[in-house]
């Protein structure tokens, strides 16, 4: 695959969810590919703004990098999410890709789970009319394997992408779920800071038999591929990036 196939200099991305190592890696990777990125956060706005400013500073040297902006929104309802997407469109002129990361580092036992779960669905539903109006785009919802495996049925995110995918076939729009294995965010959230990262990983290995951390750059690279034009044939899928974790159970 030629490098130019993954250039995204004509794309505008809305990335919704907490600012973490993974979301930072996604923003950096997409910006380096030329995408403009609007980070929509419900808290830590100043931290997100500083990160956007760092990307802007890098653009003075790398003129092909995309722009980055930070937008604050509670994302409590579809209407509020639509307003956030409209603000992103005002900043950059259009919206081409929605990437939601609310569920990356949470478990169903987390007290914020239901809030994040609803925000993920609301943002995806709110983005769809914008993409349909442009007759192109991507909806990418990131979650984690532990949420998928703990559920006795498909998650709301999986149901959503399967439900809307048939109507997207002739619109150059795709919708997919990316499910991640063990990440630093997941380990730290699961053990609530009571264990070091090394201790938490060792505990997972003892419980699962084998495990490895999924690096943020690995996740960002997969997101970049799904965001690109060469992924147009991938739609309605749940794509796992987990180093083989749960492979026997999933297939």
- Asked, for residue 68, whether it belongs to a domain, the answer is yes
| CATH code for the domain of 128 | 3.40.50.720
- Asked, for residue 163, whether it belongs to a domain, the answer is yes
Per-position DSSP letters for 86-150, written without gaps between them: HHHHHHHS---EEEE-TTTT--TTSTTHHHHHHHHHHHHHHHHHHHHHHT-EEEEEEEEHHHHHH
- Asked, for residue 2, whether it belongs to a domain, the answer is no
- Asked, for residue 149, whether it belongs to a domain, the answer is yes
- Asked, for residue 37, whether it belongs to a domain, the answer is yes
- Asked, for residue 30, whether it belongs to a domain, the answer is yes
**Taking 50 as the threshold, does the pLDDT of residue 1 lie above it?**
no
pLDDT of 199: 87
Query: Comparing 221 with 201, which gets the higher pLDDT?
Result: 221
Separation CA 74–CA 41 (nearest Å): 8
**Taking 70 as the threshold, does the pLDDT of residue 247 lie above it?**
no
- Asked, for residue 171, whether it belongs to a domain, the answer is yes
Q: Are 95 and 12 spatial neighbours (Cβ–Cβ below 8 Å)?
A: yes
pLDDT of 250: 41
pLDDT of 151: 59
**Taking 90 as the threshold, does the pLDDT of residue 182 lie above it?**
no
**Taking 90 as the threshold, does the pLDDT of residue 191 lie above it?**
no
The pLDDT tens digits for 27-84 are 999 999 999 999 999 999 999 999 999 998 888 888 889 999 999 999 999 999 999 9
Q: How many CB atoms lie within 10 A of CB 89?
A: 15
- Asked, for residue 146, whether it belongs to a domain, the answer is yes
- Please give the tally of structural domains in the chain: 1
Report the percent of the chain where pLDDT is more than 70: 93
pLDDT of 150: 62
Q: Which domain holds residue 46?
A: 8-243
**Taking 70 as the threshold, does the pLDDT of residue 249 lie above it?**
no
Separation CA 87–CA 105 (nearest Å): 26
**Taking 50 as the threshold, does the pLDDT of residue 94 lie above it?**
yes
Its pTM stands at 0.91
pLDDT of 93: 93
The pLDDT tens digits for 102-145 are 998 777 767 788 899 999 999 999 999 999 999 999 999 999 88
């Amino acid at each position: 695959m030629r490098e130019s196939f993954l250039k995204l200099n004509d794309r505008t991305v809305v990335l919704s969810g907490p600012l973490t190592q993974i979301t930072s890696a996604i923003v950096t990777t997409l910006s380096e590919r030329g995408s403009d990125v609007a980070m929509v956060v419900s808290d830590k706005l100043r931290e997100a703004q500083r990160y956007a400013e760092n990307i802007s500073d890098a653009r003075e040297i790398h003129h092909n990098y995309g722009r980055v902006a930070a937008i604050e929104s509670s994302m409590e309802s579809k209407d509020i999410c639509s307003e956030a997407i409209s603000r992103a469109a005002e900043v950059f002129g259009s919206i081409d890709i929605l990437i939601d990361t609310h569920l990356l580092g949470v478990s169903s036992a987390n007290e914020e789970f239901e809030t994040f779960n609803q925000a993920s669905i609301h943002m995806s539903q709110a983005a769809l009319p914008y993409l349909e109006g442009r007759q192109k785009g991507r909806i990418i919802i990131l979650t984690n394997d532990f949420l998928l495996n703990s559920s006795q049925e498909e998650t709301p995110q999986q149901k959503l992408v399967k439900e809307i995918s048939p109507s997207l076939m002739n619109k150059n729009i795709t919708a997919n779920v990316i499910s991640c294995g063990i990440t630093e965010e997941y380990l730290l959230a699961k053990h609530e800071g009571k264990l070091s990262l090394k201790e938490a990983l060792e505990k997972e290995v003892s419980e699962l038999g084998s495990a490895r951390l999924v690096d943020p750059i690995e996740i960002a690279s997969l997101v970049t591929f799904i965001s690109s034009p060469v992924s147009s044939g991938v739609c309605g899928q749940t794509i796992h990036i987990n180093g083989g974790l749960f492979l026997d159970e999933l297939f």
